[in-house]
Amino acid sequence: MKLEFRKATIDDLDILTKTRIEVLRAANGLDDNIDMSRVERESRVYYENALTNDLHTAYLVFDGDDFIGAGGISYYTVMPTFHNPTGRKAYIMNMYTKPDHRRMGIATKTLDLLIQDAKKRGITSISLEATDMGRKLYERYGFISMSSEMELPV
């Protein structure tokens, strides 16, 4: 096994977009019959804008020529608070490792690369949504469950 962790660039739009759909299908248990064309178009627009404006960092993981994993972190700003005086935040997303490569430290290394990127930018607030499968990885890394955040699905 020859692993390569590669920071994605604008030249990787096709694989980033394809990977996003693969991750969403896997995380949500969606089969190939579910139409994801709109999500795919919007994801491409997102990546194009976010990579051009340095608002997202993504890592792609390969075993030789085979894509086996990914992870991303989005950067955004909210109003400053006492606990976050800059208001700069980051959100981890699109963490994925293909099933036959799991339990080999790939997700941990990807997560570490993303968090290093955030720290270099001076980010002090990083959040994410965890699947049941990923929760232990994030807890081992030091993420804690939040009890004060709420969401209104509209």
Q: Which CATH superfamily is domain 3-141 in?
A: Gcn5-related N-acetyltransferase (GNAT) (3.40.630.30)
The whole-model pTM stands at 0.89
pLDDT of residue 134: 83
Asked whether 74 and 82 are in contact (CB, 8 A), the reply is no
From the centroid of its chain, how far is CA 87?
20
Joined together, the tokens standing for residue 55 give 């608002």
Asked whether 77 and 89 are in contact (CB, 8 A), the reply is yes
For residues 90 and 84, give the distance between their C-alpha atoms in angstroms, rounded to a whole number. Answer: 12
pLDDT of residue 5: 97
Q: What is the pLDDT along the chain (154 residues), one digit of tens a residue?
A: 799 999 999 999 999 999 999 889 988 889 999 999 999 999 999 999 999 999 999 999 999 999 999 999 999 999 999 988 999 999 999 999 998 999 999 999 999 999 999 999 999 889 998 878 888 889 998 888 887 777 777 8
Domain spans of the chain, in order of start: 3-141
Sequence-distant (6+) residues with CB within 8 A of 66 are none
